[in-house]
Structure 1
Amino acid sequence: MTDTRPNVLFLLTDQERADLVEPGGLPVETPNVDRLRESGTWFDRAYTPTSICTSARASLLTGLYPHGHGMLNNSHEADAVRTELPAGLPTFGELLADAGYENGYVGKWHVGQTKGPEAFGFEYFGGSDDHHDELDERYRRYRESLDADVGSETIEDAVYADDGDEEMLVSGTTSLPPEATRTYFLAELTVDAIERRAEGGDAPFFHRTDFLGPHHPYVVPEPYASMYDPADIDPWPSYAETFEGKPRAHENYHRYRGVDDFDWETWAELVAKYFGFVTFVDEQMGRILDALERTGLDEETVVVHAADHGDFTGSHRQFNKGPLMYEQTYRIPLVVRDPTRETVSESAAFVRLHDLMPTFLDWADAEVPDRTHARSLLPVLAGDEPADWPDSVYAQYHGDEFGLYSQRMVRTERYKYVYNGPDRDELYDLREDPHELRNLAEHPHYAETRRELQATMADWMDEVDDSLRGWAPKTFE
């Protein structure tokens, strides 16, 4: 009997902002994400459960918020709360394999120090970096085959951040040609995997490619490095940030990251490189989509593009991400092209990155574990949003090398409320202040709104069995 379940191709980027690829977004060339959007579904209100790599990726695998899987901060740092995903938690890779899918994985992992994708139901094809994962050395051999040895690379136009201990490379232009970069290599591995699947058996496949960009350092080859002119890039509206009325951690983080002396001229140079990086990654996605069409697999393969979280790139005068629950790092791109069913072109439903876990299982007709904090997107894709679909989104942050602390966020259509346990809370009226510059948490005019949002947050804590549910609500009033 022929297996009619769809193949799934999942393209995950690292630290990609939603406002770069949304309809009518910033003037950044992303023709291949546009290509997916035009024939698929764009989720306008997609959010990460947490804006830090390991935690978000563990949530994606398990369908759980970080408090549920325990990977509260990055697994490769010295202060890691956990260095491995706890044993016994169901993950979508293992469940898809049990359901008969042939799973492949390329690129970044970053969900543990010793266990890689092969421990979670995937065949790993390579492409990791030695900073986050040391899974193989295929990229080095690939560069040598192109006579582009690692030692031959030089970086021009380099910009560094100085945090007082060491300088960290933030952006630059690599001397390598595009085809010798890791970004290109990840697409090459993916194209090879697709071509092998086209020649294989009847079993459906799930393939995941995790690009390491556009995460900093924003080091890209020509012509992408000079594709965008810094002089044409205006300051983000949130660059007007003064930190007045904000939690103390915001200004501390600005200094801690070593960017407090960056003026807009410097930031514009970084943003231009970031834009170039986004376009470069997009072109590699195009090579992958072309391979699907060339092999005739496109009509039976669902394609999903998302990011683990966003990136500040100077918004709120900040670098990277951290204890700041702003839209630039919590809202993510999410687009789904499903040629096997009728879907809507755009959805305004609040959805989360980890909702993809049960969605992948739904495509595979596999049973979703009882203990998840996520819901399948298939009804929303069809335009049949369930009556009990949430009208808000909930997110968390537990800290990174800057320190461990608890934060919770509720985002509704108009408002955002952020709980900061040891410091002042935040409340933003996103209709009147879309750039989140004015904290209204203590404004008397918004007292009733604050109470309503606090009640919504308490409901979310109960809904997902949050470990703070017995404590935080007592501090709201």
Structure 2
Amino acid sequence: MPASRFHSLYSPWLFPLACICLLAFLPAGCSEGEHNTPLRPNILFILSDQQHYQAWGGEDASFKTPSLDRLARESRRFSHAFVTAPQCSPSRASIYTGLYPHKTGIPGNTGSTLADGSRITGLKRGIRTAGSYFRKAGYFTGYIGKWHLGPVGDHGQDYDFAAFDTIRGGDATTDEEKTRKALEFLAQRPNNRPFALFLNYREPHNIYDYGWKHPPEPLPELAAGMSLPDSYYREDPSTKPRAQTQYMETGPVQRFLHADEIIWKSYRGYYRQRVAHFDQQLNRILAALKEHKLNESTIVLVTSDHGDMDARHRLVYKGPFMYEQLVRVPLIVRVPQAFGGQPAGIDHDLTVNVDLLPTMLEFAGLRVNGLDGSSLVPRLTGKAHDTADFVISQYQNKQKWNHPMRMIRTPGFKYVDHLEGMDELYDLRNDPEELVNLALDASSADIMHRLGDHLEQWLKQHQDPFHQLSATDPEGRPVAPRKVSQARGYRDR
């Protein structure tokens, strides 16, 4: 309820009641300087780019992220947070629309080419993004940084404070400039309206500065003390989809294929440097919240659009795979006590990033029908809630290369259905590194069929056109469908 509505309560006999109601909504222990706290929470949504779920100090001590670590100690952390797609554009489209990529018009990165020769240009006409809902509800809205969803167009009108970066494939604005803009937003916000700020950083996507444009060179200062993951040594490409090897043989990525270990260690060291740079910007934003006395009135959400392979499975960057390092990301949410926030802790149940918009909307008192996600508010406020049996991720293409995949991930297993080529099945409890592909083992037929049936039901329920898609080679040339799986009883199809 906006503060202005309390003016009608100022009658002699209602004034005490009004005071009691107002105090009930104010944060506990707030200082005099915070008495303008809105009755609806502010929303601060911070998105990094290409940060996998272990890429912070709370999961891996080789990452130096004191700000993120401190925030996690004050928040609810979702240890099994997934993305709808392991790529920038489709994942961001899901975050800001609450819909799966096949519904948004962005099944792959904008500018890439589909199998029929058409290009992915941007969001479908009529699709609403987060700012539309919040601004209509009276929020002061802001969008800063990477857009990557095609032309901004009318979506720009949904934000009172807009600093979109719209170049194809990324953004040109430095993260320091984004932070400066965010500080400007916080300083300029009106005191009589709650705000919703969507802040999109580039790091650690700048890992592409190492080895993409120029051959990777040893960086001894970054490689020092850096180890390589177990899957780097134990990966057997012959038991994995051919697309994995094709990726490493294509374009600039092939520079890593036969590189010495110091190059791989330098890659990992450089990635950690980029994550640390994101953490430095996060520190400035969180400090500004405290300076403006907004901590007790602001819900803070920090996550990423997808991960990075970080040398696991002898892979770099991102590509046509569904490994945990690509589809699983950090998700940290701090909810003030005034809005039902619970003590800090870890939620181990599954969630996917289409859940984020419904969550933010519910905290703002808004419910929107037709979204694919489910609100996390019950899980954040200690109320009874249902748990997801599985999550789904989608993959379509990379530049001209169309290699459609669908992943179904349960608490214990992961099945990846490749439209063309070898499928994948992993027992995550016994094989967390995803080294043993059980799709090649006929004894895994029962679990694979069960997961396949769940996936098929989901495809039909959500009108996902997966089986109507087409595959190409990396140059965009059509390839004949061919399926490889012992567990599901076929070799060629």
**Shared fold, TM over 0.5:** yes
AA at the equivalent of 1:348:
H
* 1:365-380 paired onto structure 2 within 5 Å: 365-368=365-368, 370-380=369-379
Q: Distance in 2 between matches of 1:401 and 1:293?
A: 43
Tell me by how many angstroms 1:313 deviates: 2.5
User: Closer, same or farther in 2 for the Cα pair 1:294/1:236, shift >3 Å?
Assistant: same
Residue 146 of structure 1 is matched in structure 2 by none
1:22-101 matches, within 5 Å, as 23-77=58-112, 81-101=119-139
Give the corresponding residue for 1:311: 308
Whole-Å Cα distance in 2 between the matches of residues 446 and 78 of structure 1?
A: 36
CA–CA separation in structure 2 for the residues paired with 1:402 and 1:88: 27
Q: What does residue 212 of structure 1 align with?
A: 202
Superposed displacement of residue 469, structure 1: 7.0
Residue 231 of structure 1: which of 219, 224, 234 is its match? 224
Q: Secondary structure at the match of 2:438?
A: coil
1-structure distance, mates of 2:192, 2:226: 50
Gaps of 5+ in 2: 4-37, 211-217, 471-482
Query: Alignment partner for residue 278 of structure 1, among 275, 278, 295?
Result: 275
Q: Match for residue 355 of structure 1?
A: 355
**How far 1:23 moved relative to its partner?**
3.4
Aligned to 1:175: none
User: CA separation of 1:127/1:64 partners in 2, compared to 1, >3 Å: closer, same or farther?
Assistant: closer
Deviates more, 1:76-85 or 1:46-55: 76-85
Contact persistence 2:355–2:376 (CA under 8 A)? yes
SS at structure 1 position matched to 2:224: helix
Matches of residues 430-449 of structure 1 in structure 2 within 5 Å?
A: 430-449=428-447
Partner of 2:340: 341
C-alpha distance in 1 between matches for 2:70 and 2:379:
21
Deviation of the 1:81 alpha carbon: 3.3
Q: 2:177 aligned with 1:185, yes or no?
A: yes
SS state at 1:75 partner: coil
Q: Tell me the CA shift for residue 468 of structure 1.
A: 3.3
Q: CA separation in 1, counterparts of 2:154 and 2:92?
A: 12
Q: Deviations over 1:139-198 (max 9, x none)?
A: 5xxxxxxxxxxxxxxxxxxxxxxxxxxxxxxxxxxxxxxxxxx1222112111211222x
- Supply the distance in 2 between the matched residues of 1:58 and 1:237 (Cα, whole angstroms): 34
1:312/1:320 contact within 8 Å kept: yes
| Cα offset, 1:463, TM superposition | 3.7
Aligned with residue 187 of structure 2, among 166, 171, 195: 195
1:228 and 1:273 in contact (8 A); partners too: no
**Structure 1 CA distance, aligned partners of 2:177 and 2:65?**
19
1:255 matches 2:233: no
Aligned length: 421
- 2:51–2:306 Cα contact (<8 Å) kept: yes
Task: Give yes or no for contact 1:75–1:113 (8 Å, CA) kept in 2.
Answer: no
- The question of whether the paired residues in 2 share the 8 Å contact of 1:73 and 1:81 is answered with no
- How far the C-alpha of 1:402 sits from its partner, in A, is 5.0
Distance of 1:22 and 1:330 partners within structure 2? 19
Matched, 1:103 2:141: yes
CA distance in 1: counterparts of 2:160 and 2:310, whole angstroms: 34
Shift of 1:276: 1.0
CA distance in 2, matches of 1:114, 1:127: 8
Q: Does structure 1 conserve the Cα–Cα contact (< 8 Å) formed by 2:52 and 2:326?
A: yes
Q: What code does the residue aligned with 1:15 have?
A: Q
Amino acid at match of 2:408: V
- Please list the CA deviations of residues 339-398 of structure 1 after superposition, one character each: whole Å capped at 9, or x if unmatched: 132325211111111211111111111231x222111110111233523x3121111111
With 40-49 and 261-270 compared, the bigger mean Cα shift is at 261-270
- Matched with 1:167 is none
Distance 2:193 2:297 in 1: 12
Query: What's 1:466 paired with?
Result: 464
Deviations 1:111-148, CA, capped at 9 Å, x for gaps: 004538515x12454373745468xx8x5xxxxxxxxx
Partner of 1:159: none
Measured in 2, the distance between the counterparts of 1:323 and 1:432 equals 24
Structure 2 residue 19 is the aligned partner of structure 1 residue 19: no
1:432, CA displacement in angstroms?
1.9
Alpha-carbon offset, residue 92 of structure 1: 2.0
- Seq. identity, %: 31
- Corresponding residue of 2:10: none
Report if the CA contact (8 A) 1:427-1:440 is conserved: yes
What letter corresponds to residue 315 of structure 1 in structure 2? R
1:10/1:209 contact within 8 Å kept: yes
Kindly provide the amino acid, as one letter, of the partner of residue 381 in structure 1.
L
Which whole-Å CA distance do the structure 1 matches of 2:448 and 2:113 have between them?
37
C-alpha distance in structure 2 between counterparts of 1:194 and 1:422, whole Å: 49
SS of equivalent to 2:405:
strand
Distance 1:411 1:22 in 2: 25
Greater Cα radius of gyration, structure 1 or 2 = 2
Counterparts of 2:448 and 2:384, CA distance in 1: 28
Q: In structure 1, what is the equivalent of residue 14 of structure 2? A: none
- Runs of at least 5 residues in structure 1 that lack an aligned partner in the other structure: 140-181
3-state SS of 1:408 partner = strand
Structure 2 counterpart of 1:210, one-letter code = N
Asked if 1:289 is matched to 2:299, the reply is no
Change (3 A) 1:383 1:237: farther
Superposed displacement of residue 264, structure 1: 2.0
2-side partners of 1:299 and 1:102: how far apart? Answer: 18
Aligned to 2:466, the other structure's residue is in SS state coil
- The Cα shift of 1:434 comes to 1.1
**Contact between 1:85 and 1:111, CA under 8 Å: does it hold in 2?**
yes
Q: Which residue of 1 is the match for residue 159 of structure 2? A: 122
Q: Tell me how far 1:320 sits from its aligned partner.
A: 1.4
Whether the aligned pair in 2 keeps the contact of 1:28 and 1:279 (CA below 8 Å) is: yes
1:30 offset after TM fit, Å? 0.9
Whole-Å Cα distance in 2 between the matches of residues 416 and 390 of structure 1?
14
